[in-house]
């Protein structure tokens, strides 16, 4: 997917999200339980902000971040959803739609549009939290700090997601800025460790200034789900090597989730996806690797899906073991159930009568022969 295609996909998705946001806003005043509508609004603005950040659309990111922050306070019950706020959110919806429209027509943001955005943000200011400018500046400085300055991060590797990123050589040609992904990850949590990978950068005439040689190892302390982190790299998966390794602290949670899943028979990959340990994309990649390995050979010679996921560091071994145990128990349960045949009572009565008649007929035949 080239840059223009990716941007068009972003515009289409943003328009759909704005439509869902408008529906939620129009419905919320008539609802007793507004939780789902508020969550729908939050998801719409959050996704638009994240996708806009990947394209360097700073005006949209800045405005959406403010709206998202207020919505987050509403959904966490720190702020009540008054009619005044609903009216403001409707204006924000219209302003975001205008900004998206300007992207589609390649227009610069007009002075009037900037004034509208600033006015709406000023109305939201009293409803925002109290994070100081110093705290925000410290957060930004942390992203730009050197790896050796981050050694005393606030979480251990047990509590952090580890992201191993190697971007496609064509990332820059396709209009993608690899650093924008790192900046966006900072909005999802705290980057407590980052280590640039420099070995792949050629020297001399072999260096192509239009090619991307960017690689980095990151430790991210975040409550985000694996799917949320996976979605960050939606537009650059092709040709890139993206590995997302869950925190070791989450292993016990995944194991417990697997144990609590319904008992129907499922394949290993389906169990892991259902528990949230991997995404459907992770499973598809593992199945693709398995198919390549078994090409021309008996399927039994290919590595098992669990082995592939563990060796690719997509899933911790204890989680695979729990999923295999779940699969085995479901198969045993199904096998046991197959040994039981359900028969309608009237048919069973008829069968008993026939057996009785057969016994009598047999006895009569034996007496005649005697």
Q: Give the model confidence (pLDDT) of 147-181 as tens digits.
A: 444 444 445 445 788 888 888 888 888 777 788 88
Other CB atoms within 10 A of residue 187 CB: 17
This prediction has a pTM of 0.44
Query: Could you tell me if 322 and 259 are in contact, meaning their C-beta atoms sit under 8 angstroms apart?
Result: yes
What does the DSSP assignment read for 314-368? SS-HHHHHHHHHHHHHHHHHHHHHHT-----HHHHHHHHHHHHHHHHHHHHHHHH
> What is the distance between the alpha carbons of residues 225 and 279, in angstroms, rounded to a whole number?
10
Sequence-distant (6+) residues with CB within 8 A of 110 are 102
Q: Three-state DSSP class for 304?
A: coil
Look at residue 2 in the predicted model and tell me its pLDDT: 57
For residue 107, the 8-state DSSP code is: P
Ordered by where they begin, the domains of the chain are 3-128 (1.20.120.160), 150-245 (3.30.70), 252-338 (no CATH)
Q: Three-state DSSP class for 250?
A: helix
Other CB atoms within 10 A of residue 99 CB: 22
Look at residue 38 in the predicted model and tell me its pLDDT: 87
| pLDDT one-digit tens code per residue, 58-108 | 888 889 888 988 888 888 888 888 888 889 999 999 999 999 988 888 888
Paired tokens of 364: 């009569």
> What is the distance between the alpha carbons of residues 190 and 154, in angstroms, rounded to a whole number?
9
Look at residue 275 in the predicted model and tell me its pLDDT: 67
Look at residue 91 in the predicted model and tell me its pLDDT: 93
> What is the distance between the alpha carbons of residues 149 and 278, in angstroms, rounded to a whole number?
32
pLDDT in single tens digits along all 370 residues of the chain: 556 777 788 888 889 999 999 998 888 877 777 888 888 898 888 888 877 876 778 888 889 888 988 888 888 888 888 888 889 999 999 999 999 988 888 888 888 888 998 999 888 888 875 443 344 444 444 443 444 444 444 454 457 888 888 888 888 887 777 888 888 888 888 888 888 887 778 888 888 888 888 888 888 888 888 888 888 887 777 788 888 887 765 677 777 777 777 666 677 777 777 767 777 777 888 888 878 877 766 666 678 887 887 777 677 777 788 878 877 877 777 666 556 667 788 888 888 888 888 888 888 887 777 6
Order of strands, sheet of 215-221, starting from the edge strand that comes earlier in the sequence: 190-196, 215-221, 161-166, 241-245
């Amino acid at each position: 997917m080239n840059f223009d295609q990716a941007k068009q996909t972003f515009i289409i998705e943003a328009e759909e999200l704005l439509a869902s946001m408008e529906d939620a806003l129009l419905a919320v005043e008539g609802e007793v339980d507004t939780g789902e509508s508020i969550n729908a609004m939050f998801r719409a603005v959050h996704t638009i902000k994240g996708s806009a950040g990947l394209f360097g659309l700073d005006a949209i990111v800045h405005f959406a971040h403010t709206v998202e922050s207020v919505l987050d306070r509403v959904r966490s019950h720190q702020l009540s959803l008054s009619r005044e706020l609903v009216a403001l959110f409707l204006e924000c919806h219209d302003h975001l739609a205008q900004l998206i429209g300007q992207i589609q027509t390649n227009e610069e943001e007009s002075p009037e549009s900037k004034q509208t955005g600033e006015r709406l943000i000023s109305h939201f200011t009293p409803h925002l939290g109290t994070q100081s400018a110093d705290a925000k500046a410290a957060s930004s400085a942390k992203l730009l700090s050197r790896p050796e300055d981050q050694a005393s991060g606030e979480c251990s590797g047990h509590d952090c997601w580890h992201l191993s990123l190697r971007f496609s050589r064509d990332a820059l040609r396709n209009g993608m800025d690899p650093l924008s992904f790192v900046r966006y990850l900072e909005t999802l949590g705290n980057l407590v460790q980052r280590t640039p990978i420099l070995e792949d950068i050629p020297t001399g005439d072999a260096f192509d200034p239009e090619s991307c040689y960017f690689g980095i190892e990151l430790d991210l302390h975040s409550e985000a789900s694996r799917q949320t982190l996976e979605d960050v790299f939606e537009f650059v998966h092709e040709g890139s090597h993206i590995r997302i390794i869950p925190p070791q602290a989450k292993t016990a949670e995944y194991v417990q989730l697997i144990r609590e899943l319904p008992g129907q028979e499922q394949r290993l990959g389906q169990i892991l996806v259902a528990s949230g340990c991997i995404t459907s994309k992770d499973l598809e990649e593992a199945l693709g690797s398995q198919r390549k390995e078994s090409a021309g050979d008996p399927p039994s010679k290919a590595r098992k899906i669990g082995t592939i996921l563990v060796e690719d560091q997509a899933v911790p071994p204890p989680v695979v073991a729990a999923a295999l145990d779940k699969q085995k128990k479901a198969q045993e349960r199904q096998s046991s159930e197959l040994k039981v045949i359900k028969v309608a009572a009237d048919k069973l009565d008829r069968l008993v009568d026939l057996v009785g008649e057969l016994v009598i007929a047999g006895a009569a035949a034996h007496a005649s022969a005697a």
